């Protein structure tokens, strides 16, 4: 007797039913079809008459600039947002998604860029939370754990189902998210920027998992800004711009330049050449910085220096101490040990005000949490570090004309696409929010720039602009500490590359001599990488 679908998938009877099965016939309807999807928010048309097809066994790349409408479209597909017009079909049958539970029961699942698991619960408990059951879901945890082990072994997604999520590495958390979708029998799997937290070796494994899932008849939508990775795995690529579909082309006949031009409407420069600047004096020196909490050590004896006219890149998988290092350097957290030296001014403790007065500027990794105040307008965000200076205020009275003139200049100079400085920042796309941070920090002409994940979540056009600004700072003799999870970014910008792992700086390499493989192994903790 033929195996059942449950037996082939390694799933038990507790898995929700109702997921549509792909028809193997060559003329079968698409697994997922979106027809004429339109969604309008106050003052913004997020999606305009969008039509997309995803076939069983296909990996479809979804591309577009920040603000192109990709997130809204996927929120509609997963039941988070209801469209104003249009239709959604699964295997040729129209469906109406009232919420995420409807989408999940129909076999639609998504792994978000920012993971959605509850960190204090185990992997199995997180899976149980998403299940419909007549009895309390936590009573099913032992059975779910056994099923997760089976699915985990089948796809090589090795995760301990009884491990709490906050104890897992970032790569393991992503594997846990995928396991949750597979346990829920997802047939349409959506991945939003899935490689932003992975080492190159982890991406190789994930791409193999994608191919295995597609070979079983599942459909995968892969949202990414990394065009090389996309072209290495996608069957077709759909490009969106300004809320509309520009076109869909076979990946086999596409290249990075073609896709980038479709995304932004102009030619994009991918490989920004490192300007040949002779390094000057040491601008920032870090000596033996350590930081610990009550239960673990976050930074261990971190030491390095950054020279004028140099970019030092520090790479590593998220969660290995990079965030804590930035917080110590900018004065948000005091180190337990060590010294920080700006231009010979040695400090045991740095405060945020002292960091600015010493010539520091920072592009924080979390632009929403630390970079911009989303509820304030663009002018307030551009001026928040300078309102109190004599140039812009007199005895507590703001010089409105001078302030407005500066904001107009920054909006133009940094190509912030906004109708004016009066607009609230939460109405700007992610790329324009990042340009706002760049304009505010770089216009002060800092001597030391700390750029933490400066292009995270940005499209190729915005990335190109950020690279140009960082290189211009270098040409002007500024020192830059680049913190990034992106190896391509580090190799593009940095003169030297350091690797962090579990709060330690393992090694600093010359960027012209290092290899991607070598740095990737160091990111995974292989200190003996050659």
- Could you identify the residue written with the tokens 């076109």? 247
What digits encode the pLDDT tens for the residues 285-326? 999 999 998 778 899 999 999 999 999 999 988 778 998 999
Q: How far apart are CA 140 and CA 297, in angstroms?
A: 36
Q: How far apart are CA 43 and CA 17, in angstroms?
A: 40
Cα–Cα nearest to 131, from 120, 144, 121, 118:
144
CA of residue 35 relative to chain centroid, distance:
28
114 vs 323, more confident? 323
198 vs 339, more confident? 339
At residue 133 the predicted structure's pLDDT band, cuts being 50, 70 and 90, is low
229-250 mean pLDDT:
91
Residue 396 in this model has a pLDDT that exceeds 70: yes
> For the domain 282-359+446-523, what is the CATH code?
3.40.50.300
Residue 528 in this model has a pLDDT that exceeds 70: no
DSSP string, 268-284: ---SPPPP-----SEEE
Phi, psi of 360 (to 5 degrees): -90, 150
Q: How far apart are CA 434 and CA 374, in angstroms?
A: 12
Q: Report the pLDDT value the prediction gives residue 114, as an integer from 0 to 100.
A: 67
Alpha helix (H) ranges present in 373-455?
378-383, 400-413, 430-442
Percent of the chain scored above 90 by pLDDT? 43
**Average pLDDT over the chain, rounded to whole?**
85
Strand residues in 322-380 grouped as ranges (E): 337-342, 345-347, 360-363
How many other β-carbons are positioned within 10 Å of the β-carbon of residue 278?
Answer: 9
C-alpha distances (whole Å) from 515 to each of 229, 502, 512, 518 are 18, 21, 8, 5
150-179 mean pLDDT:
86
Q: Which residues contact 293 (CB under 8 A, 6 or more apart)?
A: none
Burial class (CB in 10 A: 0-12, 13-18, 19+), 136: exposed
Cα–Cα nearest to 9, from 133, 146, 185:
185
Structure tokens at 412: 């133009």
Write down the domain spans for the chain.
282-359+446-523
Q: Report the pLDDT value the prediction gives residue 132, as an integer from 0 to 100.
A: 60
Structure tokens at 203: 């991406």
At residue 197 the predicted structure's pLDDT band, cuts being 50, 70 and 90, is low
What digits encode the pLDDT tens for the residues 428-441? 877 788 889 999 99
Angle at the Cα of 226 from the Cα atoms of 225 and 227, rounded to 5 degrees: 100
How many other β-carbons are positioned within 10 Å of the β-carbon of residue 132?
Answer: 10
Q: Report the pLDDT value the prediction gives residue 418, as an integer from 0 to 100.
A: 81
H or E element that contains 37: strand 32-41
H or E element that contains 248: strand 244-250
H or E element that contains 259: helix 256-264
Q: Report the pLDDT value the prediction gives residue 129, as an integer from 0 to 100.
A: 83
Cα–Cα nearest to 60, from 32, 83, 28:
32
- What 3-state DSSP class applies to 431? helix
Phi, psi of 508 (to 5 degrees): -120, 125
Q: How far apart are CA 194 and CA 391, in angstroms?
A: 45
Beta carbons of 445 and 414 less than 8 angstroms apart: no
Q: Report the pLDDT value the prediction gives residue 76, as an integer from 0 to 100.
A: 95
Q: Which residues contact 329 (CB under 8 A, 6 or more apart)?
A: 284, 286, 340, 350, 355, 360, 450, 481
Q: Report the pLDDT value the prediction gives residue 24, as an integer from 0 to 100.
A: 42
Q: How far apart are CA 461 and CA 477, in angstroms?
A: 25
Structure tokens at 480: 């830059």
**Lowest mean per-residue pLDDT among 144-148, 167-171, 303-307, 374-378:** 167-171
420 vs 429, more confident? 420
Question: Of how many residues is the chain composed?
Answer: 530
C-alpha distances (whole Å) from 485 to each of 227, 233, 401 are 16, 21, 41
Angle at the Cα of 173 from the Cα atoms of 169 and 178, rounded to 5 degrees: 150
Angle at the Cα of 90 from the Cα atoms of 89 and 94, rounded to 5 degrees: 40
Q: Report the pLDDT value the prediction gives residue 5, as an integer from 0 to 100.
A: 36
Strand partners, 188: 108, 219
The torsion region of residue 379 among left (phi > 0), alpha (psi -120 to 50) and beta comes to alpha
Structure tokens at 144: 């779910």
Q: Report the pLDDT value the prediction gives residue 111, as an integer from 0 to 100.
A: 86
- Could you identify the residue written with the tokens 């190799």? 491
70-90 mean pLDDT:
93
Cα–Cα nearest to 422, from 373, 392, 379:
379
**Lowest mean per-residue pLDDT among 10-14, 155-159, 366-370, 419-423:** 10-14
Percent of the chain scored above 70 by pLDDT? 90
Beta carbons of 451 and 330 less than 8 angstroms apart: no
Angle at which helices 141-155 and 200-215 cross, to 10°: 100
Q: Report the pLDDT value the prediction gives residue 3, as an integer from 0 to 100.
A: 40
Q: How far apart are CA 148 and CA 127, in angstroms?
A: 9
How many other β-carbons are positioned within 10 Å of the β-carbon of residue 396?
Answer: 6
Q: Report the pLDDT value the prediction gives residue 58, as an integer from 0 to 100.
A: 96
Burial class (CB in 10 A: 0-12, 13-18, 19+), 427: middle
At residue 204 the predicted structure's pLDDT band, cuts being 50, 70 and 90, is confident
Note if the pTM is more than 0.75. Answer: no
């Amino acid at each position: 007797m033929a195996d059942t679908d449950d037996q082939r998938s390694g799933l038990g009877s507790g898995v929700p039913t109702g997921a549509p099965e792909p028809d193997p016939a060559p003329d079968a309807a698409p697994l997922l079809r979106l027809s004429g999807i339109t969604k309008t928010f106050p003052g913004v048309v997020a999606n305009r008459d969008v039509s997309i097809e995803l076939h069983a066994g296909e990996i479809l790349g979804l591309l577009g600039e920040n603000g192109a409408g990709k997130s809204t479209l996927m929120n509609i597909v997963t039941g988070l947002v209801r469209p104003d017009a249009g239709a959604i079909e699964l295997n040729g049958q129209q469906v109406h998604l009232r919420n995420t539970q409807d989408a999940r029961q129909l076999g639609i699942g998504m792994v978000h860029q920012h993971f959605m698991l509850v960190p204090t619960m185990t992997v199995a408990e997180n899976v149980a939370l998403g299940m419909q059951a007549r009895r309390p879901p936590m009573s099913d945890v032992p059975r779910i754990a056994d099923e997760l082990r089976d699915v985990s072994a089948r796809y090589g997604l090795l995760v301990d189902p009884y491990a709490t999520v906050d104890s897992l590495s970032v790569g393991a958390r992503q594997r846990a998210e995928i396991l949750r979708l597979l346990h829920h029998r997802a047939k349409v799997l959506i991945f939003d920027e899935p490689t932003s937290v992975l080492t190159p070796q982890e991406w190789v494994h994930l791409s193999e998992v994608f191919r295995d899932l597609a070979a079983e008849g599942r459909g995968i939508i892969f949202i990414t800004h990394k065009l090389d990775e996309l072209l290495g795995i996608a069957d077709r690529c759909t490009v969106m711009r300004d809320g509309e579909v520009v076109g869909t082309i076979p990946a086999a006949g596409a290249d990075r330049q073609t896709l980038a031009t479709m995304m932004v409407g102009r030619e994009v420069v991918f490989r920004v050449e490192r300007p040949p600047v002779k390094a000057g004096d040491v601008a920032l020196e870090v000596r033996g910085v350590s930081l610990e909490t009550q239960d673990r050590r976050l930074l261990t004896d971190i030491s390095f220096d950054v020279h004028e006219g140099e970019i030092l890149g520090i790479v590593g998988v998220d969660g290995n101490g990079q965030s804590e290092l930035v917080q110590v350097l900018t004065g948000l957290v005091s180190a337990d040990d060590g010294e920080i030296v700006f231009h010979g001014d040695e400090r045991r403790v740095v405060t945020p005000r002292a960091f600015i007065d010493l010539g520091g500027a920072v592009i924080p990794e979390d632009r929403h949490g630390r970079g911009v105040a989303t509820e304030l307008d663009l002018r307030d965000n551009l001026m928040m570090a300078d309102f109190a200076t004599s140039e812009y205020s007199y005895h507590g009275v703001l010089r409105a004309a001078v302030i407005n003139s500066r904001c107009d200049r920054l909006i133009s100079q940094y190509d912030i696409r906004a109708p004016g400085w009066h607009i609230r920042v939460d109405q700007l796309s992610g790329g324009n929010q990042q340009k706002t941070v760049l304009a505010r920090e770089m216009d002060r002409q800092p001597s030391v720039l700390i750029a933490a994940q400066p292009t995270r979540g940005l499209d190729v056009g915005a990335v190109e602009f950020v690279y140009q600004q960082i290189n211009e700072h270098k040409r002007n003799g500024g020192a830059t500490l680049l913190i990034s999870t992106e190896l391509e970014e580090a190799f593009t910008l940095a003169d030297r590359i350091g690797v962090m792992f579990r709060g330690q700086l393992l090694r600093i390499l010359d960027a012209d001599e290092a290899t991607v493989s070598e740095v990737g192994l160091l990111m995974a903790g292989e200190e003996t990488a050659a």
